[in-house]
Structures are given as structure tokens and as C-alpha cells.
């Protein structure tokens, strides 16, 4: 059975997350349903990471096994036809070796979080960014972010329902970018690691927003990290601004 890697873009609003669920719409369920329109199922696909309800993706990667030896371009076109009303799109597709696994072959995941500061409510970016009204101190947020880099016990920044075996992870990048936009300022948080804990990125951003607002000092981030206590975390921010931005493999499956 030929195996195909799918690069998937989706708008997370209206989905209960990536993972298939019996009673709620999911991105995985939408793609598997589209595959069933092409070949008899059941189809079970695996993805690089499970995104939560409301979280978006620019480049989620999944793999599927097909009975027919599809041309990769025609497979993506056929899937997009059946996904056309779902706010889900296959932006690239490639046949891969049988030992390729979207999750287990991945070397790292990259996330983007968008936060927009402006007085007026969001219109075009509604649901696509976290909206606050106050301007933040980017340098202070970066100073706080730098405290989180490296290998740590991230219990403080881990959801209480996280199913990971260990809270110890290595954070390779947490860069805060400030961009002037019409009528406001956008802050982009670029986050990179091999793997993440449940709600880890949203916990980081919610905490760093407190630093940028002046409610916390950068050193307070260190104290929160060392506390290894979920109660020491800042507020967990909205999922609206979070995007799975990319996945790295030993060899790019899409060339």
C-alpha cells in the first residue's frame, strides 16, 4: 500500500481539535471522511501533532496509506474537492517510504502565536489572533522568554490533563517579534522544540503577556519555572492566535 505525506492547512474554529472524536467535528475526521470518498475505508491517518480546539495550522503533516497508486498531485486535488467547505486544505502531497511516520519521524515542531494590541476590536483577524488593548514591552517579554530556553521541568507550563510521560522538555527557540500594523501592534511568538506539553505554548504566551504588561518582571518567569507548580503559571491565553507552523524531518518529504 503506497504511503503519502500530506501537508495540511486549516482554520481551527469550528473544530474540536485535530484528533478524531465521536460527537464533535475534528480535522482528522474531516480528512479521513474525504479519503473515504476516494477509496473504501476505514481510513486512519497519523499527524505530527494534536492541536486543541480553536488552534490553527499552516503546515500540519499527516500520513495516509492508500490502496491505489495515486499521483500525489491528483490525490491532493481530489481531497481538496471533498474538503472545499471545511476550511481545511491539502497544500502539498508526496509519496513517501513505508517507514515514514508523520509523528515519530519528526525532529521538531514549530509554532507561531499571534497577539494583536489595539483599542478597536479585531475584524479581519477575529478568531485568528489574541486581542488585547494595551501595548506591551517586547524587550521585557524577550527577556522573560530567554529564561525558558533549554532543558527544564515544565510542570508549571503544563496542563493538569497533559498525558505526556514526563514534564521535562527542551525548548530550542522562543523569539518575540514586534510588527507595526495599521491601527495597532502585532507580537509574534516563534516557538520551536522537538515536542511540547499540552497547553505549553499558550501557557508561555499568557505568562509573557503579563511580563510585557508590567505585571510581572522577567525574573518572575524564572521563579514560576522553578516552582514546578501549575498554580505559579500566568493566565493560559486564547487558542485563537496559535498556529502549528511547521514540522522538520530528517529529509523534507515534500522536496
- Predicted pLDDT of residue 134: 94
- Residue ranges and CATH numbers for the domains of the chain are 3-105 (3.30.70.580), 108-246 (3.30.70.660)
Q: What CA–CA distance (Å, rounded) separates 101 from 3?
A: 9
The separation between the first and the last C-alpha atoms of the chain, rounded to the nearest angstrom, is 21
- CA nearest 208: which of 182, 184, 237, 231? 237
Region 119-124: what's the mean pLDDT? 96
Q: What CA–CA distance (Å, rounded) separates 203 from 212?
A: 14
64, pLDDT greater than 90: yes
Binning pLDDT at 50, 70 and 90, where does residue 1 land? confident
103, pLDDT greater than 90: yes
Binning pLDDT at 50, 70 and 90, where does residue 141 land? very high
CB neighbourhood size of 14 (10 A) = 15
DSSP category for residue 23: S
Report percent pLDDT > 70 for the chain: 100
41, pLDDT greater than 90: no
Arithmetic mean of pLDDT over the chain:
97
Q: Which residues contact 2 (CB under 8 A, 6 or more apart)?
A: 65, 66, 68, 69, 70, 95
- Predicted pLDDT of residue 89: 98
Residues serving a catalytic function are 52
Whether the model clears a pTM of 0.75, i.e. scores above it, the answer is: yes
Q: Are 167 and 158 in contact (CB under 8 A)?
A: yes
- Predicted pLDDT of residue 228: 97
- Predicted pLDDT of residue 22: 86
69, pLDDT greater than 90: yes
Residue with the bigger pLDDT between 21 and 112: it is 112
Amino acid at each position: 500500500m503506497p504511503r503519502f505525506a500530506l501537508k495540511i492547512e486549516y482554520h481551527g474554529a469550528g473544530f474540536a481539535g485535530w484528533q478524531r472524536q465521536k460527537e464533535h467535528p475534528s480535522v482528522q475526521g474531516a480528512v479521513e471522511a474525504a479519503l473515504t470518498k476516494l477509496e473504501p475505508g476505514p481510513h486512519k491517518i497519523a499527524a505530527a501533532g494534536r492541536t486543541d480546539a480553536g488552534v490553527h495550522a499552516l503546515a500540519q503533516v499527516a500520513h495516509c496509506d492508500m490502496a491505489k497508486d495515486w499521483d500525489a498531485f491528483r490525490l491532493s486535488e481530489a481531497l481538496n474537492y471533498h474538503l472545499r467547505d471545511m476550511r481545511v486544505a491539502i497544500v502539498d502531497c508526496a509519496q513517501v517510504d513505508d517507514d515514514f511516520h508523520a509523528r515519530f519521524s519528526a525532529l521538531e515542531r514549530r509554532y507561531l502565536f499571534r497577539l494583536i494590541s489595539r483599542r478597536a476590536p479585531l475584524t479581519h483577524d477575529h478568531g485568528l489572533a489574541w486581542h488585547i488593548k494595551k501595548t506591551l514591552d517586547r524587550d521585557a517579554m524577550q527577556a522573560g522568554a530567554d529564561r525558558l530556553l533549554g532543558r527544564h521541568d515544565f510542570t508549571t507550563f503544563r496542563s493538569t490533563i497533559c498525558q505526556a510521560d514526563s514534564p521535562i522538555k527542551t525548548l530550542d527557540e522562543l523569539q518575540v517579534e514586534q510588527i507595526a500594523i495599521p491601527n495597532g501592534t502585532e507580537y509574534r511568538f516563534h516557538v520551536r522544540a522537538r515536542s511540547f506539553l499540552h497547553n505549553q505554548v499558550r501557557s508561555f504566551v499568557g505568562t509573557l503577556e503579563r511580563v510585557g504588561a508590567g505585571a510581572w518582571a522577567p525574573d518572575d518567569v524564572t521563579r514560576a519555572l522553578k516552582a514546578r507548580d501549575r498554580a505559579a503559571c500566568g493566565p493560559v491565553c486564547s487558542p485563537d492566535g496559535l498556529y502549528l507552523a511547521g514540522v522538520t524531518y530528517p529529509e523534507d518529504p515534500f522536496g
